[in-house]
Structure 1
Amino acid sequence: MNDVKIVAIGGGTGLSILLRGLKLFSEEITAIVNVVDDGGGSGVLREDLAMLPPGDIRNCILGLASKEPVLQELFAYRFDEGRYKNQSFGNLMIAAMLGISENFEDAISKISDIFAVQGQVLPATNEDVHLVAELEDGTIVRGESKIPYQVLKKRSPIKKVFLKPLEVTALSRSIKAIEEADIIFVGPGSLYTSLIPNLLVTGISEAIVASSAKKIYLSNLMTQPGETDDFSIADHVKAIYEHSEVRFDFIVANNEEVSKEVKERYLKEASKMLMLNRKDRQYFSDQNMKVVESNFIEVRQGYVRHDIEKIVEFMNDHINKGL
């Protein structure tokens, strides 16, 4: 185990999978997680209880948890019938903890203690914030869960996203973690609805820019319908650059193909594999970014995801050697 201080920024299942790998490498991990989700079980609790969405936070707590599997299984349990159908027990537990805590950050800290989280999981902000997108045709879409649907409906890609209210403040603990970090990961995760929203929170991008840490973009494995249709890896990075002052030192990307059957399954859902092309390589070279590529892929039950063991191998092979 290393004493390297790592900050991982994102949301969704991508970040939680990354955290499962990072905790095998270091004990000093800070996950900074977006809080703009307004769909599914998180959206229901957000509307009913006027709380920040717990879903992505819940997944990241599980990613860094050290407690016995049965407790983790309980936290991840999702009801399959009745009024709570599709609701996660973990979401309800966070909601209950919020009721006896000072604020959302304090509630997450207490939950993290219960699960012996290796490091810390922090919401990007304690303030109630929503995501808004402007599409290329001028359409304004309010609400994270509505954005991909409207992109597909209008057949108009995202031009930019922003927060409402525009000015929301990052947690001081997040800023401190970024300032002290040796390595900062952005990604994997939904580009416009998981990654960029974190960077729009006042103080986070500025702290990343000022930090002496190595800044790494970990590429998604697939494009996302209604969000990054036909995007290349470089297009993902360009979108981050257009929304913030953050600049990366390294791009980490998968270079392993999947089977024809898996590829065709994703194509039916309008999702394509993301692999470096010639233009990507030229762009990253022009921007003085080092590209690290390897087989980072794992296929389980037909679904593509990052392989935890291979991520740990990457950490050992590259980070221990000073990248």
Structure 2
Amino acid sequence: MLNQRLSSYNKVVAIGGGHGLGRVLASLSFLGNRLTGIVATTDNGGSTGRLRQDQQTIAWGDLRNCLSHLTPRPSLSACLFDHRFTGTNELSGHNLGNVILHALDQLCVRPLDAVNLVRTILKINTSIIPMSEASTHLTAIMGCGKKVIGELNVDEMIEAPVALSLEPQVEATIEACLAIKDADLIILGPGSFLTSILPPLLLPKVTEYIRASQAKVIFIDNLTDEYSVANQFSIEEKIGWVNQIVGKDIISDVIQHCDIKSPAVTTKVCSGTKVNFHQFSLVSSHHKGLHDKLALGDAICSVSRFKALKRTA
């Protein structure tokens, strides 16, 4: 069992979506209410996409994923939240967690209220905040000016886009902005670069608060190649994308996996700025595409230089 303690002033914000953000949040869950996840809400596939199309709601899938990663296990509540319906009826393929979040949203004033109710039920201390509480779609702009709308279509692009936007443009959740304002550390990634990491950065208020922040910004690289057009980007190009969207060179450190016995660090110039690349052994023994939670938590604390005490029993 991991016993971890960070100084009380350390507040961490992780930005992204899907399983990547969930893995980061799980690795730092010992922070409790000093940890915040700002979650992309532009997914339009699967159960989430069907709910969005039928009910005109925000995308719940990535929010559910993050909540699921933080849910104490084993427990009946975790099993229920992760349950996916089978069969040939209209419920087939829907995830119960998505349906619960949507149902609570209809009973609440705000989508964030629904998320907080689920956090209470599942006994999750970490804050989980949708990037926006209004429905929007990710849009990619190609070199010829053509627009590709929707995450599913962006993932299937063959030619890399030259820019991204949200349609319609929506407002960032104020709680997300305030979390960024108070953060000592901001984490981007891992995950799908175009469809998980970048969408929250397309909100003007989010980038405004990041530009004004004095927090260290760390980018966590993926363990394996993406099955999307983003696989054409080098890590240096990804850093360039992020810095350009934010309007400031914000990334100072990158965490990468490497099959080495001891951590190593090299410095490269990206977009005219020196960036430290830290190599750790990070792959989970259960799945080569997943970060080991304990190793990832150790790596983040090491790179952030937080005063941490870690012991494994």
TM-score (norm 2): 0.87
Within the candidate set 279, 292, 300, 1:293 is matched to 279
Change (3 A) 1:73 1:241: same
Partner of 1:179: 181
Q: Distance in 1 between matches of 2:271 and 2:151?
A: 33
Q: Which amino acid in structure 2 is aligned with residue 292 of structure 1? A: H
Change (3 A) 1:253 1:179: same
Once the 2 structures are TM-superposed, how far is the Cα of residue 185 of structure 1 from its aligned partner?
0.5
Partner of 1:131: 138
Q: Distance in 2 between matches of 1:319 and 1:34?
A: 24
SS in 2 for 1:71: helix
Deviations along 1:9-68, one digit per CA (max 9) or x if unpaired, are: 000111111111010355411100011111110000011111101100001112223475
SS in 1 for 2:138: strand
The answer as to 2:292 corresponding to 1:251 is: no
Q: Which amino acid in structure 2 is aligned with residue 159 of structure 1? A: V
Within the candidate set 278, 299, 303, 1:314 is matched to 299
Which is bigger in relative contact order (C-alpha 8 A, separation at least 6)? 2
Q: Which amino acid in structure 1 is aligned with residue 111 of structure 2? A: F
SS in 2 for 1:250: strand
SS in 2 for 1:306: coil
Q: Which amino acid in structure 2 is aligned with residue 306 of structure 1? A: H
Partner of 1:102: 109
Partner of 1:164: 167
Once the 2 structures are TM-superposed, how far is the Cα of residue 243 of structure 1 from its aligned partner?
2.2
Partner of 2:44: 38
Please provide the CA RMSD for this pair. Answer: 2.4
Q: Distance in 1 between matches of 2:271 and 2:241?
A: 17
Q: Distance in 2 between matches of 1:24 and 1:132?
A: 36
Once the 2 structures are TM-superposed, how far is the Cα of residue 222 of structure 1 from its aligned partner?
2.3
Within the candidate set 77, 85, 90, 1:79 is matched to 85
Q: Which amino acid in structure 2 is aligned with residue 124 of structure 1? A: M
Q: Which runs of 5+ in 1 are unaligned?
A: 258-275
Within the candidate set 206, 218, 222, 1:216 is matched to 218
Once the 2 structures are TM-superposed, how far is the Cα of residue 80 of structure 1 from its aligned partner?
2.2
Deviations along 1:86-137, one digit per CA (max 9) or x if unpaired, are: 2111001111101110021111111111111122100001112111111234
Q: Distance in 2 between matches of 1:284 and 1:24?
A: 33
SS in 2 for 1:158: coil
Aligned length: 297
The answer as to 2:116 corresponding to 1:113 is: no
**1:20-31 alignment, distance < 5 Å:** 20-25=26-31, 27-31=33-37
Q: State whether residues 27 and 296 of structure 2, in contact with CA within 8 Å, keep that contact through their aligned partners in structure 1.
A: yes
The answer as to 2:14 corresponding to 1:12 is: no
Partner of 1:269: none
Partner of 2:65: 59
Deviations along 1:148-192, one digit per CA (max 9) or x if unpaired, are: 22x13xxx22211101123x2111111111111111101111111
Partner of 2:56: 50
The answer as to 2:196 corresponding to 1:194 is: yes
Q: Distance in 1 between matches of 2:290 and 2:273?
A: 28
Once the 2 structures are TM-superposed, how far is the Cα of residue 201 of structure 1 from its aligned partner?
1.1
Q: Distance in 1 between matches of 2:121 and 2:103?
A: 14
SS in 2 for 1:241: helix
Within the candidate set 191, 207, 210, 2:209 is matched to 207
Partner of 2:311: none
Q: Which amino acid in structure 2 is aligned with residue 157 of structure 1? A: A
Q: Distance in 1 between matches of 2:144 and 2:227?
A: 18
Q: Which amino acid in structure 2 is aligned with residue 196 of structure 1? A: L
The answer as to 2:257 corresponding to 1:304 is: no
- Residue identity (%): 26
Q: State whether residues 67 and 115 of structure 1, in contact with CA within 8 Å, keep that contact through their aligned partners in structure 2.
A: no
Q: State whether residues 33 and 127 of structure 2, in contact with CA within 8 Å, keep that contact through their aligned partners in structure 1.
A: no
Once the 2 structures are TM-superposed, how far is the Cα of residue 84 of structure 1 from its aligned partner?
1.7
